[in-house]
Amino acid sequence: MPLGTLDRNPPPFFKQGTSALTKLIIFSFLSMALMLADQRYNLVQPARWVLSIIMYPVQWVALRPQVAWQGLGDVFVGKQDVLDNLQAANAQLLAQAVRTSQLEQLELENRYLREMLELRQRVVTPALAAEVLYQAGDPYTRKMVLDKGALNGVVQGSPVMDEKGILGQITRVHPLVSEITLVTDREHSIPVLNLRTGARGVAFGESGGAPLLELRYMATNADIEVDDVLTTSGVDGVYPPGIPVAKVVKVERRADSVFARILCESLARVQGARHVMVLAPVKLPLESPPLEQTAPLLHHKGGRR
């Protein structure tokens, strides 16, 4: 066969098309553009809602073995454990009864004082009971997923607590489920108040491995000690005031720093919580000054002109 008649084109098996580097650059650019559009314009939220509805039955089926195992463990709880729990519950009920009788008197005195000082009454915060489905598997964040979503009235930004204290805040809402960012997450912060001294501060999630909080920007000579209890201060307009948050477990005062390193342990069960309460955000509006107080000011400004 003459050499001029040979086909010198490579066979289809060796034709690669667009190079791998070009594909990487194109898809990286599309990924960044999609993330930017979702961050600024929230374009992917409808797709998330649809996927969450589609995946909910799969999640429900996948969690059935865990629920069955927990139910089996509850069935085989020993008789002595039940008796111990009953005795502890009776003691706690008695202590709460004594405390309730004292609180009624304090509430009556508080009402009289508020009426005398013409102070506004505290707003009652609505709450919704929910159950924790599972804890998010991302090792770099601390989040939980609840079985209540937008269809149940859950809104983004709602505080979440258990029987011990503040657990976290709703940061993502889907139609049937919602996601909590725990107080120990490094991206979470909460204004707190020291019950012993009345000092206010801000607690951030600790970025280390342990599920702790860090009370930052406190001076080295600040009056704070181990076992001090921190509660919500209510200055952010999200968390109701007076709910327990954490307990101080370590205070480091270093000479080379103007701030002390204060580590706190969450009072809520950030690991292993099952039943929680979703609270409505406080969102206290700023009251406008009375008309009779603003009128002289307006008249004075008009006089200057």
Could you report the per-residue pLDDT of 221-243, keeping only the tens digit for each? 889 999 999 999 888 888 888 89
pLDDT above 70 (res 171): yes
Q: What are phi and psi of 95, to 5 degrees?
A: -65, -40
Buried b (16+ CB within 10 A) or exposed e, 11-39: eeeeeeeeeeeeeeeeeeeeeeeeeeeee
| H-state helical runs in the chain | 20-41, 45-75, 79-117, 291-304
- What six digits make up the tokens of 285? 């509006």
Q: How confident is the model at residue 214 (pLDDT cuts 50, 70, 90)?
A: very high
Residue type, 138: D
pLDDT above 90 (res 120): no
Q: Write down the pLDDT at residue 100.
A: 74
Buried b (16+ CB within 10 A) or exposed e, 218-237: beeebebeeebbbbbbbebe
Q: Write down the pLDDT at residue 62.
A: 83
Q: Write down the pLDDT at residue 90.
A: 81
CA dihedral 142, 144, 150, 156 (to 10 degrees): -20
Report, as an integer, the average pLDDT of 243-256: 91
Q: Write down the pLDDT at residue 178.
A: 93
CA-to-CA distance for 214 and 201, rounded, in angstroms? 10
pLDDT above 50 (res 305): no
- What's the whole-model pTM score? 0.61
CA-to-CA distance for 61 and 66, rounded, in angstroms? 10
Q: How confident is the model at residue 192 (pLDDT cuts 50, 70, 90)?
A: very high
125-170 residue pLDDT tens: 788 999 998 888 777 788 999 999 999 999 999 999 988 899 999 9
* Contact between residue 240 and residue 282 where contact means Cβ atoms under 8 Å apart: yes
Q: Which CATH number fits domain 126-283: 3.40.10.10, 2.30.30.100, 2.40.10.340, 3.40.50.2300?
A: 2.40.10.340
Q: Write down the pLDDT at residue 167.
A: 93
pLDDT above 50 (res 205): yes
Half-sphere exposure of 107 (CA within 13 A, CB side): 8
